[in-house]
């Protein structure tokens, strides 16, 4: 689909905001033309999920990739390169979410942490 090619070109130029609607359109058109389980639809769905990740929409990306993974494993199999690519994207999203959570959690006060440790050891 031409939308997917245009989205990829815009993304390579660093125009993430402009690329988003084209990724979504390519995914939706593939879904309408071929159904949810078609290999092309799985690829467009994965591409859309990677765009979401690049755009900072990490949780949305992870949800999209989980759905793509289910279809990919069912249709293409666990050993297929597309399935591996989706898993790579999921691990990156999970890594980013973990970093986000780590940054959002303030470090424990040293004295407080030492007190908790000594109480737990008794």
Q: What span, in angstroms and rounded, lies between the C-alpha atoms of 93 and 96?
A: 5
Which tokens sit at 89?
């994207």
Eight-state DSSP code of residue 38: S
Q: What tens digit of pLDDT does each residue of 35-69 get?
A: 999 999 999 999 999 999 999 999 999 999 999 99
Q: Is the pTM of the predicted complex or chain greater than 0.85?
A: no
> What band does 119 get if pLDDT is binned at 50, 70 and 90?
very low
CATH code for the part of the protein at 2-121: 1.25.40.10
Residues 84 and 92: their CA atoms lie apart, in Å, by 12
Select from 49, 32, 37, 40 the least CA-distant residue to 75: 37
Closest CA to 70 of 41, 99, 111: 41
In the 8-state DSSP scheme, what is residue 14?
A: T
Going from N- to C-terminal start, the domains of the chain cover 2-121
């Amino acid at each position: 689909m031409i939308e997917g090619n245009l989205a990829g070109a815009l993304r390579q130029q660093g125009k993430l905001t402009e690329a988003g609607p084209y990724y979504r359109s390519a995914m939706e058109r593939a879904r309408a033309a071929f159904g949810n389980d078609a290999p092309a639809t799985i690829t467009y769905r994965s591409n859309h999920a990677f765009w979401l990740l690049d755009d900072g929409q990490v949780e949305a990306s992870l949800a999209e990739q989980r759905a793509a993974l289910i279809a990919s494993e069912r249709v293409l199999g666990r050993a297929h390169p597309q399935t591996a690519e989706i898993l790579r994207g999921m691990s990156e999203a999970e890594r980013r979410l973990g970093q986000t959570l780590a940054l959002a959690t303030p470090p424990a006060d040293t004295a407080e942490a030492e007190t908790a440790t000594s109480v737990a050891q008794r």
